[in-house]
Structures are given as structure tokens and as C-alpha cells.
Chains A and B, each alone.
Chain A
């Protein structure tokens, strides 16, 4: 059987491009469209994750801010109360001075309320018994300049 020779045995790049563009495309199965349409999800897709979680993150941040503000206001209020508690109040009937309300007075991790009223806050004791800080004077003796 005679085989027909190709018209252009050595096509140029331009001719080859034209031939490629004119190449017949494969046939598409008829039921493919129907199957693809059937695969479309019926329910609307959820929004992207970032957009979905953004309001949640915003609300959480706002809640944190509110908590911080409330706590700081409460803290300042407590500090004011403590300062008022530490002001000495003179009791004329018993002739002694005491703190008006000492429940909030904090000493080394214990409140004054932990001690009996007669004792009051513990005094300071030198760590070495029988010793006292050496007497020192800032004044230089005159002999030093002789």
C-alpha cells in the first residue's frame, strides 16, 4: 500500500506551531458534565478559616482587655484601702495607739492579723547575737590630714 508522504518533512518552528494549534482535540465524554454537576456540593462552602476565626479571636482579645482593666481598677482600690488601714488611730479609752484596720497589712508573707494585738508586727533582730553594727562616723579625724 502506498503511504502518502508528509507535505512538509522539515517544518519550520512557525509551521509546527500552527500545526500544533490545529491539532484536533479529543472528544469529551457526554456524561462527564452531568457527573461533574452532580458532584457540586449542595450546601454553601464555609468561609475561609481566617475569616471564620477572626471574630472569635477579636472577642477573646476584647474579653481579655476587659478582665485586665477590671483587675487593675480593683487592685488600685485595694491599695488605697490598705494605705487608709495603716494610718494609726488613738484609742482614748485604752490609751494606746493601734491601726484602724490591719487585715491587709502585709509583713513577710503574713498579715498583721496573724499576730496578737499586743505583739504587733515582729521587730527586727540582728542575725548575730550580742553584736551590734560597728560605730562609724563619716567625720574624718584631723590627724588624717597631718
Chain B
């Protein structure tokens, strides 16, 4: 994961220097976008939320105290944007539940080209609830430490560790169930 490793650059950011802001975008927009794709399961919504995340970042940049890295801070904003969007969507006819994978992620071409195992893992990950999916994505796909995850999810480090472990076990159980179902289908066919 690309991270900004620059305290002096952050000072320039706080002063609102456009070059420093551009550097922040280049270093972090991809991880932020991917994180949001995994959360929303929709590339269009993820794109919108990425833009909203950075727009919010420019508004709050003066109040950033530098306790976390810029990447963690941006993930925190992105996560809160996602939560806000989900609340709005729930109010407006529960769109997420009606269309669990409406944005074309993963791309159908990707599914075909990717291995069967990858597809299964992807499907199982998408079946998980956001409460379980978020820590898995942050830790294993985004590469955040538990401490950084605690900042993003606004929970104690111990709780974040426990949640990640629980989510991993749920994912494992899902994969096992799927394998069992597939085996039964094969047996019935034969």
C-alpha cells in the first residue's frame, strides 16, 4: 500500500499548499478507491465516494492534528462517507439489499479470467456483512495495521483484532459451506 511518509509535506498540506495536496492525492487515491469498492461493491458509488472523501479532506485539512498518517486519516474519512451513504440509501428504499452487486464489481471479464478459487473467495467476501468485511479489507487487502484500523473504525485495538479474527472465521466457514454444497451438487449429477 502506498503511504505518505512525510511529516514536512504534511506541514505544507496543513498550510494548504496545492503541490502538497496533489502529492496526497497521487499517493492515496488508489487505496482509498479500492477500499470503497470493497465496501460498496459498486465501482460508480466508490468513485463518487472517493471524490467526496477528498473534498471532505480539503475542508478538514486545517484541523488534522497529525496523530495518524495521512493514509489512515483518509481511510477514516472514506469509511465515514460510506457509512453516511449507506444510511441515506437505507432510508431511500434499501437499495443495497435489493442490488447486492449492482455496480459490476468484480468485472465479469475479471471473473472469467481469474481462477476459480479467487472468484469463490471474492464471492464469499462480498457475502459477508460490512461489519465483517471492513476489517478484513483494511487488514489484508489495504495492509493497515491493527492500530491504524482502530483509528479508521473508531474502536479499541483489542476490539479490532477480535473483529478481524471473527470475520476471518466466518469467511472460512462460508468457503467451507460453498465447497460442501458444490460437492453435493456433483454427487447428485453423477
Contacts and interface: CB of A to CB of B under 8 A. Distances in A.
Interface of A: 3-11, 13, 16-17, 19-21, 23-29, 32-33, 35-37, 39-48
B43 A26 contact: yes
Contact of B172 (A11, A26, A40, A41): A11
B114 A20 contact: no
A9 B179 contact: yes
Contact of B51 (A36, A43, A45, A46): A36
A28 B31 CA distance: 9
B63 A48 contact: yes
Main secondary structure of the interface of A (DSSP, over half): loop
A27 B120 CA distance: 19
A23 B38 CA distance: 12
Contacts of A16: 168, 171-172, 175
A36 B168 contact: no
8 contacts: A3-B186, A6-B179, A16-B175, A19-B117, A25-B141, A43-B16, A44-B17, A45-B62
Q: Which of B21, B34, B183, B186 has the most CB of A within 10 A?
A: B21
Contacts of B169: 13
A26 B140 contact: no
Contact of A28 (B14, B21, B30, B110): B30
Nearest to B21: A40
A20 B140 contact: yes
A41 B25 CA distance: 12
Contacts of A24: 110, 114, 118
Contact of A32 (B18, B50, B176): B50
Contacts of B15: 44-45
Contacts of B55: 39
